Amino acid sequence: MMKKFFSGLLISACLFVFYPVNAQVAEQMIKIMVSPDHDDWQYRTGEKASFTVQVFYHQNLLKGVKAYYEIGPEKMDPVKKDSMLLNGKPFVLEGGTMSSPGFLRCVVSVDYEGKRYRGLATAAFNPQAISPIVKYPGDFRAFWESAKAELAKVPMNPRMTLIPERCTENTNVYHVSLQNIGNSRIYGIVSIPRKEGKYPAILEVPGAGVRAYSPDLNLAERGVITFVIGIHGIPVNLDPVVYSDLGSGGLREYWTNNMDNRDRYYYKRVYLGCVRANDFIASLPQYDGSNLAVTGGSQGGALSIVTASLDQRVKYLAAVYPALCDVTGYLSGRAGGWPHFFDRNNVKYHNIKEKLETIPYYDVVNFARELKATGYYSWGFNDETCPPTSMYAAYNVINAPKSLHLALETGHWTFPEQNILLQNWLIEMLKK
């Protein structure tokens, strides 16, 4: 079921603890509002879309300044490009149509007093009919069953260290280290309710980047075990300079490491590390043994789907703008998912036989095909990091129970109300 909500609410800090850290979408002096002429921003293929543009300065419509606009399929070259002089009134741009399912984006920019301002809107054409480009390998299941068997042979060897300064009256907090494949480890922070009893659990998987992590005390205080993990095999409570150095050094663009070998690709250890994190949760005496969820945004949205697909212990997942979906879409002339391996800037580095053979084993689309867990999904049409074309390519192949919660105007960020609704859904599912 699809639902539109929050069309006129103030933008907040992007993501709470579940999701990747993005900069807050700040208020600006000049606001460019672009609105499709359908309230739900959705059209039939062949139907024409238009966009109403309003440019505000001090909450009044701006005039005497030139506006530049581009219209075309998301992440592709524009099919229309022009400018016009603002006259203090709204103006309408004819966007045209699309002959096949996808997204048509209108981007408007204004230069004012040495600064460029930008606004956009994205019309959807039959998004429920978007099909993936990525191939499904015949041995996909066998590959991952073999990988999980490899993990099962590795002792978990858990290490838990109490973090007294992060504990509360109701919750104990520990730094955790677990053995993973390849003589590596998974690190994270687990928060466990102090009151004697059995509790459901949530694995919280990270967005892209290299950084420290904090406990999720919010949900722990509501009677849920929360386990927030990093994926890079390093402790998650170090000095920030450590992560900064690694992010610009050894872990820079880690998502490309060993991409030409399916058995050594960086994400193999990451995906299996998420399963190992669930092994740890299952070993906790406070866990109720039954109710387990996984959640995250962007890369974490991808890892939520992957983890739930690989591990049948997961009953519920909540994925916000998942990355790594249908990444080969660019090779067929449409937007692919983050990290945009095959866009115009990167295709020359990655469009080689060995990498193309590896990608299908790690693309979220193929994990989505295998899902059994009940899922909550949320994104916006204006996401330029994880294009909606790529996310629908994954969503449309899911046969498990699912619901899609759209906040149409959002890009790679969320409203606080979205986060609250997602949290409440998780609590409701885990405690029903």
CA-CA distances (angstroms) from residue 374 to 29, 304, 401, 430? Answer: 42, 12, 5, 11
Token pair of 260 as six digits: 């030409």
Alpha-carbon distance 113 to 102, whole Å? 36
CA-CA distances (angstroms) from residue 217 to 192, 237, 272? Answer: 9, 16, 26
CB atoms within 10 A of CB 97: 15
Q: Which residues contact 230 (CB under 8 A, 6 or more apart)?
A: 186, 187, 188, 206, 211, 213, 236
CB atoms within 10 A of CB 116: 10
**To which residue do tokens 């979408």 refer?**
25
Amino acid 181 reads I
Out of 177, 340, 383, 390, pick the active-site residue.
383
Token pair of 48 as six digits: 């024409």
CB atoms within 10 A of CB 18: 29
Active site residue 340: no
SS3 assignment, position 76: coil
Out of 177, 298, 304, 390, pick the active-site residue.
298
Active site residue 350: no
Cβ pair 354, 336 in contact under 8 A: no
Alpha-carbon distance 119 to 105, whole Å? 11
Candidates 360, 365, 408, 387; CA nearest to 259 is 360
Alpha-carbon distance 325 to 319, whole Å? 12
Cβ pair 205, 296 in contact under 8 A: yes
Active site residue 82: no
Q: What is the largest CA-CA distance in the chain?
A: 70
- Tell me the H-state helices in 138-288: 140-152, 217-220, 240-247, 266-283
**Which residue numbers are catalytic?**
298, 383, 412
